[in-house]
Structure 1
Amino acid sequence: MSDTVLTCENVGIRFGGLQAVKDLNLKINKGELLGLIGPNGAGKTTVFNMITGVYAPTEGDIILNGEKINGFKPHKIVESGIARTFQNIRLFGYLSVLDNVKIAMNKDMKYSILNGMFRTKGYWKEEFEVNSKAMEILKLFDLDNYKQYSANTLPYGQQRKLEIARAMATNPSLLLLDEPAAGMNPTETEELMNTIKFIRDKFGITILLIEHDMKLVLGICERLMVLNYGQVLAEGDPIEVINDEKVINAYLGSGGA
C-alpha cells in the first residue's frame, strides 16, 4: 500500500480571467511535515481551499489516500480525513472550550433526534464517550483546566491551540495549518512549534503548513514548496530552498540579494 496521503496532479483554478493556481503537482507522504510558503497573494490559501472543498479545481485531480476527492463538499472532505485551521481564528467564541472540541466530533455521533429529545440510555452513553474523548484532547494541549471558559476569553495563543485541538478531534489523516503563528509573540510561537512537533510525533499525522515565520518553518518542516503567482517556484530541502536565488527574488524583488 502506498505511503502517499495526498496527491495533487496538475491542479489549477481560474476565477474569470485570473489563473490563481496553475499546474500544481504536490505529493505528501504519511507522517511528513511539508511547508508551503511564498509571498502574499501567491495562491497558498487558495490551494488549501481547493484541498478542503471550499473551491473546486477547474483543472487536475486531488487524491486523498487513493480516492479522488474533486468536487467533495467540505463536510465530506472532513469525513474523508482532512482537517484544517484558518488564517483568522474561527472558533465558536461564546461556546465553552469543551464544546468547541465536542462539535468537531459530531460526524461520528450515531444517536437519533428522538434519542436526544428523550435523553435515552444510548444518548447518555455517546455523550459520555464524546465528553471523555474531548477532555483527553484538551489535556494533550494543556487546555483541560479551561474547559468551561468561553473560547473568546482565552489568550490569543491558547485560542490558536484550541483551533488545532478542534481539528484533531475529527481524527484526520492530514492536517492543514494556515498561518498558525500569525499574530503570535515569540514565546507563543515557540510553544506552537513544540505543539505541532508533539502532535506529529504522537499521532504520526501528516501535516501541510502555510507559514511566513521562517524560524518556525525551518524549525519543524522537513521539506518546503514555494508558490509564486500560483505556480511552484522551488521545492526540496528547506535550507536549500530558502537560499535559492529565485526564491529570494520572489520575496525581495529582482534587486534582492
Structure 2
Amino acid sequence: MPYRRLPNTDAARIRALTNAINKTMSMHPDDIAYSYKVLQNAKFFLPTFKTGINYQRADYSQSVEKNSNYNSLQKRAKMYISHFIQVLNMAIARDEMPADARSFYGLEKFTKKLPPLTTDDEIIAWGKKLIDGEEARVQQGGNPMVNPRIAMVKIQYDKYVNAYRSNSFIQSKNERAFEYVQELRQKADDIILSIWNEVEQTFAHLPAAEKRKQAEEYGLVYVFRKHEKPEDNGNN
C-alpha cells in the first residue's frame, strides 16, 4: 500500500496548509473533513509562518553579504598588525631601536616571533596593544614608526572592530531567527498532522483508493513504493 508522506520542507509545509485551507473555502463547516478549530488554527498560523520564513531568508542574505565584508576587513587588519611588528623587529635588528622597545607593545624583549593572530580575540587584543604601546613609546620620546604608521594600523583596526561587532550582532540575530523558525516549523507540522489525521479518519469508511482520492483534495500526499503501481491498488 502507498504510504503518507508528511512535508519536510518549508515550501511543502506552506503548500500543505494552503491546500487544506483552500479546500474548505466554498464548503459548509459541517461538510469539512477536519475540525473547525484546526481550520482556524491553520488560517491564523499560515501568514505568520510565511512571514517568519521570509524574514529568516532576508537575514541570511544580509549575513552573507556582511560576512564577506567582515572577512576582508579581518584579513586587512591582521596584515597591518603583522607588518607593524615585522617593521619593529627590523628596526631593532638594525639597532635603530633597543630590544626593550618591544615591551611597550606587550611583546617579549628578545623574540622576533609574531604573536598568534588566528582568532578575533587575538587580533583585537594585539591591535589594541600596538596602538596603545606606540602612543606610550612616542610620548616617552621615541620616534614614530613608519611603513606602516600606527595611524594607518588604527584605521584598519577600527574598521575591523566595527565589522566584528556588527557581524557578532547579525550572528546572534540569525541564531534567534533560526530558533524562532524552528518553533514555527514544529507548529506547522503539528497542525498539518492534525489535519491529515482528521481527514483520513473522516474518510476511513471508504475503499482505500477512494479514501486517498478524497484526502488528496485536502493536500494529503501519498507515495507508492517502487514495486507498486497506482492502478494496481484501486481496491487496496
> Given the two structures, how large is their TM-score scaled by the length of structure 1?
0.20
Q: Which structure is larger by alpha-carbon Rg, 1 or 2?
A: 2
Which structure dedicates a bigger proportion of its chain to helix?
Answer: 2
More strand by share: 1
Q: Identify which of structures 1 and 2 has the higher relative contact order when contacts are C-alpha pairs closer than 8 Å and 6+ apart.
A: 2
Instruction: Calculate the TM-score normalised by the size of structure 2.
Output: 0.21
